[in-house]
Chain A
Amino acid sequence: MAALTKPKNLQDVAAPGRDGVGASPLRPDGILKVKGDFAYSSDLWHEDMLWGMALRSPHARARILSVDVSAALAQPGVYAVLTHEDIPGSKFYGLEIRDQPVLAIDEVRFHGEPIVIVAADHPETARRAIAKIVVEYDVLPSIGPVEALDPERYGYVHAPADYKAHAFGNIVHSQHIHHGDGDSAEVRALADVIVRGEYEVGMQDQAFLGPESGLAVPAEDGGIDLYIATQWLHVDRQQMCPVLGLPPEKVRLTLAGVGGAFGGREDISMQVHACLLAQHTGKPVKIVYNREESFFGHVHRHPATMVFEHGATRDGRLVFVKAEIVLDGGAYASTSPAVVGNAASLGIGPYVIPHAAVDATAVYTNNPPCGAMRGFGAVQMCFGYETQMDRLAAELGLDPVELRRMNAMEQGSVLPTGQVVDAPAPVAELLRRVKEMPLPEVENWRTADGPDVRELPGGLSNTTHGEGVVRGIGYAVGIKNVGFSEGFDDYSTARVRLEVIGGAPVALVHTAMAEVGQGGITVHAQIVRTELGVDQVTMAPADTRVGSAGSTSASRQTYMTGGAVKQAAEAVRAVVLARGRDRYGWAPAFAAGLRLAGGKALTAAGEVVADLVDLLGDEPVDETTEFRHRPTEAFDKVTGQGFGHVQYTFCAHRAVVDVDVELGLVKVIELAAAQDVGKAINPLAVVGQIHGGSTQGLGLAVMEEIIVRDGKVRNPSFTDYLIPTILDTPPMPVDVLELADAHAPYGLRGAGEAPTLSSTPAIVAAIRAATGLPLNRVPVRPEHLTGT
């Protein structure tokens, strides 16, 4: 045993922790990003690389009679032309159900489905080769969400005897929830007022700005290295290995720079195509979608039709709710089952209602596949139940915010799934806060020099000088789950290494978390600084050499990978402090009571007892741990009962709009939000998330929709699919609450999705207040307001 030495350098007063949890250090990738030096997946380059491209179906539903690739193959510069027949392994993939062909087999089920992939030495060569492929189709009438429910008459999107379990016709997944006495006659008799409404939500696109792209490089061991913009490296790999016929250790993924995600990168897109082409040609293959292909290349937000009935007493107490929801899942399952679970379990909103009967179903159709998008099943429902709350308030002559507050859930409330809310649920408080924020000036467009048209609906189009302009105010609140639910084994892995480099303690963090812009890497460094008391934290590239971090979705990464980093840092700290037992003869209890800050070991009272550099010595400490949240359980198939969600997150909005009622033009004047985040690990970043999420909700309220007619996508471009610019986006004051959830690391609450829920119904409520129109569908278009 080494001789005990006396700790030194104790005269130095420990510097207070800097840029730890609760501070707002700047993004570590910020400098690269502002200098244009950050390597996005589309920027990757490899000597001798080929360009991959896909031939996609122009039809929503058709039998493929023949595919002739001979002319494409004969073109100089073309290295490979592959159909499903060239796939070495399984021909299907999918996140929850493996029902999606890597390349179409004998039939196509949606407009844009890939049929053939090509690798060539130049993108233009690949494009010309694609144009030479001849496919003969027998076009069939497409099945939409209405037809899907009557397969006897209209047929099946997937034949009943097909390759997957298919006992339910065109139904992907259903979930029923029965709470109290449901909507029985007895329950209905208890209600003085019953309000019924039918609502629709259009198909929204994630519209991340960096299109799908990546680079697959064949390796000497027969494996493949893929550099890719994704949300979940390990599940990309899990889906690809059977297709490529390779074991996991031979399919290695590294995260490339990601230009936004919002759910659109949860499923694989070009990943497996690039790998197949690389495998086939033995050359690196890069695929980059253009904007049009991006619209066809990823899943969208499920369009929804919803029928709600709410019963209440005359004094405003909710008695029962009945909801029937149909989600258009499109041609393949993607994450439809989980979206259905969310729609059902979160479908009555953040309210206490003693009796509930909810039915949510996703159907297969010949529309574009739908899956993950920020808010994941909770967004659609929020538009439905919040519209109902406004209508009920009007019916009862109550203030809409007051009606919501009277029925708001709180800690201790029982949800319709039977789950007891065991963390703060400040729904009423959030509503109070947005309501009490100062209102923007009325007729803010008036100036001494006449109207400032920039402040009016229509803006510089100069469509009004104030005539026909009516102001409206609307409120909404929503509820979203955090993390993976329904019994999924949700975990994240983190490795933290601490060592002395150049005389200073330096930490390295290695996880597979996809940094998609949300700022997870900033947060990881903050957590390590707080736990280990070091200034310098380095982030290793995210890759599959370390265990899975789960997806960057479900508002879960700060909770889950943040939690894993915290846990790994704690393990490192325990080892470091144990060294003090050997080195300085500390009693185990004494060592266990110490903390690390400012590069020192300190007692609880703040007395410095050792320098971290000395404690560490020459030997690095390297710990890898898996972090899990509390287990959840599946919802009962019949009753929907179960501890299905680990955490809930809430946001409330107040929208103020001016509407030109003659032209149907809307200007959102202000969009105020109040959100509980449990603990703001990085206040600057969390407010940034609330701004961004609110803006996507604004897009859904008044502009964003993928128009699909008979299965055909009509607007796959940024000229025709509009997302908000700054001129559409109002000032957004944000009030952040921090009521700790004792179950979560630092008490934090996932934050990314909640603001996307309530901003849509708040804006539409404000337009209703201005116009008096029912507006049961989003996005609201000018013609809905003018009746033309």
Chain B
Amino acid sequence: MTETQIPTEQRLDIRLNVNGVLRTATVTPRRLLSDCLRHDLGLTGTHVGCEHGVCGACTIRVDGKPMRGCLMFAVSAQGHEITTVEGLADADGTMHPVQQAFRECHGLQCGFCTPGFLTVVSAFLEENPTPTEEEAREAISGNLCRCTGYQNIVKSVLRAAEITHERRAEQAEGDAR
């Protein structure tokens, strides 16, 4: 739909690389990246829980690094590679190990915080593929969950590391054949 043009407000055409696809949007300079993803690009998997950088539900990956979508402007995301929860699974739909693990370990209840945890943990496991429980706890300490008491989220992180290794081993076995 056409929105009211507020005459004093500048609007910019931007190009964003989201989940490997080049997308365009017309936004005001102060359009938050989280709002741009949700409202302009229709990627509602990125959730907005507090809009001031505390809860972590809107966490996305920018050039691989977890960032708060609500603390970035859409315009400043140009030229960077953005990955949202929708971009975690393989092209064939195979779930990312963290997605599979959160589901298997009951690492979510209402699930509102889940996309933020998944993006954070996917990045963490690339840096540290064999975390200890202590390291797993630290990795998710910037994200809030109100339902689970985090116990099964910690399990999910450790399980995701296992799944990654299992998949690699299967891959290696397949290659050997």
Number of chain B residues whose Cβ lies closer than 8 Å to a Cβ of chain A: 60
Determine whether the beta carbon of A727 is less than 8 Å from that of B106.
Answer: no
B154 close to chain A: CB less than 8 A: yes
Determine whether the beta carbon of B148 is less than 8 Å from that of A209.
Answer: no
* Residues 38-78 of chain B, each 1 if its beta carbon lies under 8 Å from chain A, else 0: 10001111111111101101000000000000000000000
Q: Which of B10-18, B108-116, B123-131, B166-174 contacts A (4 or more CB under 8 A)?
A: B108-116
CB neighbours of A35 from chain B (8 A): 45, 85-86, 88-89, 95, 99
B26 close to chain A: CB less than 8 A: no
Residue of B nearest to A291 (CB): B50
Determine whether the beta carbon of B152 is less than 8 Å from that of A209.
Answer: no
Q: Which of A116-124, A154-162, A470-478, A610-618 contacts B (4 or more CB under 8 A)?
A: A116-124
Determine whether the beta carbon of A718 is less than 8 Å from that of B106.
Answer: no
- Partner pick for B49 among A27, A211, A262, A732, CB 8 A cutoff: A211
- Partner pick for B4 among A120, A726, A729, CB 8 A cutoff: A120
Determine whether the beta carbon of A727 is less than 8 Å from that of B111.
Answer: no
Determine whether the beta carbon of B3 is less than 8 Å from that of A209.
Answer: no
* Residues 123-167 of chain B, each 1 if its beta carbon lies under 8 Å from chain A, else 0: 000000000001001101111111111111110000000000000
Residue of A nearest to B4 (CB): A77
Determine whether the beta carbon of B115 is less than 8 Å from that of A36.
Answer: yes
Whether A517 contacts B147 in the complex (CB less than 8 A), given A30-B108, A718-B55, comes out as yes
Of listed A40, A125, A516, A693, residue having the most chain B CB within 10 A: A40
Whether A695 contacts B134 in the complex (CB less than 8 A), given A48-B1, A210-B112, A517-B111, comes out as no
Please measure, in the bound complex, the distance between the C-alpha atom of A214 and the C-alpha atom of B123, giving whole angstroms.
33
Determine whether the beta carbon of A209 is less than 8 Å from that of B141.
Answer: no
Whether A726 contacts B6 in the complex (CB less than 8 A), given A34-B99, A34-B114, comes out as no
Determine whether the beta carbon of A209 is less than 8 Å from that of B145.
Answer: yes
CB neighbours of A45 from chain B (8 A): 42
CB neighbours of B88 from chain A (8 A): 35
CB neighbours of A696 from chain B (8 A): 146
Residue of B nearest to A519 (CB): B109
Main secondary structure of the interface of B (DSSP, over half): loop
Q: Of residues 90 to 137 in A, which have CB atoms within 8 Å of B's CB atoms? A: 120-122, 124-125, 128
Whether A727 contacts B141 in the complex (CB less than 8 A), given A33-B108, A77-B3, A688-B106, comes out as yes
CB neighbours of B51 from chain A (8 A): 290-291
CB neighbours of A209 from chain B (8 A): 47, 49, 55, 57, 110, 112-113, 144-146
Determine whether the beta carbon of B151 is less than 8 Å from that of A122.
Answer: no
Residue of B nearest to A685 (CB): B106
CB neighbours of A27 from chain B (8 A): 103, 106, 108
Determine whether the beta carbon of B38 is less than 8 Å from that of A43.
Answer: yes
Output the least CB separation between B143 and chain A (Å): 8
Determine whether the beta carbon of A726 is less than 8 Å from that of B45.
Answer: no
Of listed B54, B88, B118, residue having the most chain A CB within 10 A: B54
Residue of B nearest to A40 (CB): B112
* Residues 2-41 of chain B, each 1 if its beta carbon lies under 8 Å from chain A, else 0: 1110100000000000000000000010000000001000
A719 close to chain B: CB less than 8 A: yes
Output the least CB separation between B100 and chain A (Å): 8
Output the least CB separation between B145 and chain A (Å): 7
A694 close to chain B: CB less than 8 A: yes
CB neighbours of A258 from chain B (8 A): 110
Determine whether the beta carbon of A36 is less than 8 Å from that of B44.
Answer: yes
Output the least CB separation between B74 and chain A (Å): 14
* Residues 218-258 of chain A, each 1 if its beta carbon lies under 8 Å from chain B, else 0: 00000000000000000000000000000000000000011
CB neighbours of A33 from chain B (8 A): 103, 108, 111, 114
Determine whether the beta carbon of A34 is less than 8 Å from that of B154.
Answer: no
Please measure, in the bound complex, the distance between the C-alpha atom of A207 and the C-alpha atom of B152, giving whole angstroms.
20
CB neighbours of B103 from chain A (8 A): 26-27, 30-31, 33-34
Residue of B nearest to A460 (CB): B138
A454 close to chain B: CB less than 8 A: yes
Please measure, in the bound complex, the distance between the C-alpha atom of A731 and the C-alpha atom of B43, giving whole angstroms.
35
Residue of A nearest to B30 (CB): A124
- Partner pick for B149 among A39, A290, A694, CB 8 A cutoff: A694
A269 close to chain B: CB less than 8 A: no
Whether A732 contacts B149 in the complex (CB less than 8 A), given A209-B57, A688-B106, comes out as yes
CB neighbours of B144 from chain A (8 A): 209, 718, 723, 725
Residue of A nearest to B3 (CB): A122
Output the least CB separation between B32 and chain A (Å): 11
Determine whether the beta carbon of B3 is less than 8 Å from that of A121.
Answer: yes
Output the least CB separation between A653 and chain B (Å): 13
Output the least CB separation between A29 and chain B (Å): 7
- Partner pick for A36 among B2, B46, B54, CB 8 A cutoff: B46
Residue of A nearest to B119 (CB): A36
Output the least CB separation between A483 and chain B (Å): 21
Output the least CB separation between B23 and chain A (Å): 16
Output the least CB separation between B31 and chain A (Å): 10
Please measure, in the bound complex, the distance between the C-alpha atom of A2 and the C-alpha atom of B54, giving whole angstroms.
68
Determine whether the beta carbon of B86 is less than 8 Å from that of A36.
Answer: yes
Please measure, in the bound complex, the distance between the C-alpha atom of A696 and the C-alpha atom of B154, giving whole angstroms.
18
Output the least CB separation between A344 and chain B (Å): 29
Determine whether the beta carbon of A718 is less than 8 Å from that of B4.
Answer: no
Determine whether the beta carbon of B140 is less than 8 Å from that of A726.
Answer: yes
Please measure, in the bound complex, the distance between the C-alpha atom of A45 and the C-alpha atom of B150, giving whole angstroms.
31
CB neighbours of A718 from chain B (8 A): 49-50, 52, 54-55, 144
Output the least CB separation between B137 and chain A (Å): 5
Please measure, in the bound complex, the distance between the C-alpha atom of A250 and the C-alpha atom of B48, giving whole angstroms.
32
CB neighbours of A731 from chain B (8 A): 151
Determine whether the beta carbon of B44 is less than 8 Å from that of A692.
Answer: no
A717 close to chain B: CB less than 8 A: yes
Please measure, in the bound complex, the distance between the C-alpha atom of A718 and the C-alpha atom of B55, giving whole angstroms.
7
Whether A208 contacts B4 in the complex (CB less than 8 A), given A685-B106, A727-B137, comes out as no
CB neighbours of B150 from chain A (8 A): 691, 695, 725-726, 729
Please measure, in the bound complex, the distance between the C-alpha atom of A42 and the C-alpha atom of B50, giving whole angstroms.
13
Output the least CB separation between A113 and chain B (Å): 22
A541 close to chain B: CB less than 8 A: no
- Partner pick for A38 among B2, B6, B111, CB 8 A cutoff: B111
CB neighbours of A420 from chain B (8 A): none
CB neighbours of A43 from chain B (8 A): 38, 44
CB neighbours of B57 from chain A (8 A): 209
CB neighbours of A599 from chain B (8 A): none
Please measure, in the bound complex, the distance between the C-alpha atom of A77 and the C-alpha atom of B1, giving whole angstroms.
12
CB neighbours of B112 from chain A (8 A): 40, 208-210, 259-260
Residue of B nearest to A120 (CB): B4
Residue of B nearest to A48 (CB): B1
Determine whether the beta carbon of B118 is less than 8 Å from that of A692.
Answer: no
A76 close to chain B: CB less than 8 A: yes
A436 close to chain B: CB less than 8 A: no
A773 close to chain B: CB less than 8 A: no
Residue of A nearest to B137 (CB): A726
Output the least CB separation between A58 and chain B (Å): 20
- Partner pick for B134 among A210, A454, A725, CB 8 A cutoff: A454
Please measure, in the bound complex, the distance between the C-alpha atom of A695 and the C-alpha atom of B149, giving whole angstroms.
5
CB neighbours of B142 from chain A (8 A): 725
Determine whether the beta carbon of B149 is less than 8 Å from that of A691.
Answer: yes
Output the least CB separation between B109 and chain A (Å): 4
CB neighbours of B85 from chain A (8 A): 34-36
Whether A291 contacts B49 in the complex (CB less than 8 A), given A34-B99, A519-B109, A695-B150, comes out as yes
CB neighbours of B45 from chain A (8 A): 35-37
Please measure, in the bound complex, the distance between the C-alpha atom of A262 and the C-alpha atom of B110, giving whole angstroms.
11
B→A interface (CB under 8 Å) = 1-4, 6, 28, 38, 42-52, 54-55, 57, 84-86, 88-89, 95, 99-100, 102-104, 106, 108-115, 118, 134, 137-138, 140-154
19 A-B pairs whose Cβ atoms sit less than 8 Å apart in the complex: A30-B103, A33-B103, A34-B85, A35-B88, A35-B99, A36-B44, A36-B84, A40-B47, A40-B112, A47-B1, A121-B1, A209-B113, A259-B112, A260-B147, A262-B146, A291-B50, A719-B54, A725-B143, A726-B150
What 12 additional pairs, Cβ within 8 angstroms, besides A726-B140, A727-B141?
A26-B103, A34-B95, A36-B43, A43-B44, A259-B112, A290-B50, A519-B109, A692-B148, A718-B54, A718-B144, A719-B54, A729-B151
